[in-house]
Structure 1
């Protein structure tokens, strides 16, 4: 009787373990594939473009002046989404919680071959050291911004 109970327990444990493995591999297939690029191998033109355009958005909070992106700097989708009103509302929250924007530092660059884009992750430095914020600037192969977002900093990139 003990042998039967032991075999049932082992069978149950094995079936639970195999079910878990298959479900995690199924969800892993949905994540976008990317390659982490060494900072030294990234084009200085792309690095400068991402830094300047990202900093322009964050400096808006300090100066209350937003210079809109041009068609040469950003895609149509970004031009429609980023406007003075949206930035003003975001800046009110950032200034209240974090204070004035000081600067940002490039931490990592990720390449997404599927959609031909490069993501630049910056750690942002603000007057108040409440939390660390991250600025993500995504640029396509035409050196146009395809996305720009801020998040709370996490050491590992999470899509």
Structure 2
């Protein structure tokens, strides 16, 4: 009798806890896509030049380091000739010579107030399906650079 009572209490608690109403998340999205007409042309040009300059290193083996007017100290520290050379060796063997980058979209990150420029990297070999993301802060400085495999969604 006692075990049946305990069993009924446990089942009742499980049913009661399962029926509790749940709060739904109403958080606003942290990122938005910027319409092409509203993209800052000066910043877009800086992002393009920075991205192209990095990937052209693969063809020329020469990299002109970023200045403090162009990039944040973290980007300057992490973007070295040695690091680029290692990455470029892999890319050249697999994809051939770098050709150009094409802007696909710009994403505004509301939380850190940056714009992420998504470029599709074009290489000699058609099998290349790479993306270069250049992040620009509100001071028009490169605050991040990332190369990854291309995916349609951000």
Q: TM-score scaled by structure 2?
A: 0.81
- Tell me how far apart the structure 2 counterparts of residues 64 and 50 of structure 1 sit (CA, whole Å): 21
**1:107 aligns to what?**
104
- Tell me how far apart the structure 2 counterparts of residues 120 and 72 of structure 1 sit (CA, whole Å): 19
**2:80 aligns to what?**
83
**2:141 aligns to what?**
144
Q: State the Cα deviation string for residues 13-56 of structure 1 (Å, max 9, x = none).
A: xx7xxxxx98xx78xx7xx7101001221111011000001100
Question: Offset at 1:130?
Answer: 1.4
Higher alpha-carbon Rg: 2
- Tell me how far apart the structure 1 counterparts of residues 151 and 128 of structure 2 sit (CA, whole Å): 11
- Tell me how far apart the structure 2 counterparts of residues 64 and 138 of structure 1 sit (CA, whole Å): 24
Describe the SS at the equivalent of 2:64.
Answer: coil
Work out whether residues 136 and 143 of structure 2, in 8 Å CA contact, stay in contact via their aligned partners in 1: yes
More helix by share: 1
Unaligned runs of 5+ in 1: 1-14, 16-20
User: Could you list the runs of 4 or more consecutive aligned residues of structure 1 that deviate by over 2 angstroms after TM superposition?
Assistant: none
**2:150 aligns to what?**
153
Question: Offset at 1:114?
Answer: 1.2
Work out whether residues 121 and 132 of structure 2, in 8 Å CA contact, stay in contact via their aligned partners in 1: yes
- Tell me how far apart the structure 2 counterparts of residues 154 and 87 of structure 1 sit (CA, whole Å): 23
Mapping of residues 98-137 of structure 1, within 5 Å: 98-137=95-134
Q: How many residues align?
A: 136
Does residue 36 (structure 1) correspond to residue 20 (structure 2)? The answer is: no
Question: Offset at 1:131?
Answer: 3.0
Describe the SS at the equivalent of 2:74.
Answer: helix
Q: TM-score scaled by structure 1?
A: 0.79
Q: State the Cα deviation string for residues 86-121 of structure 1 (Å, max 9, x = none).
A: 000000000000110001110000001211100000
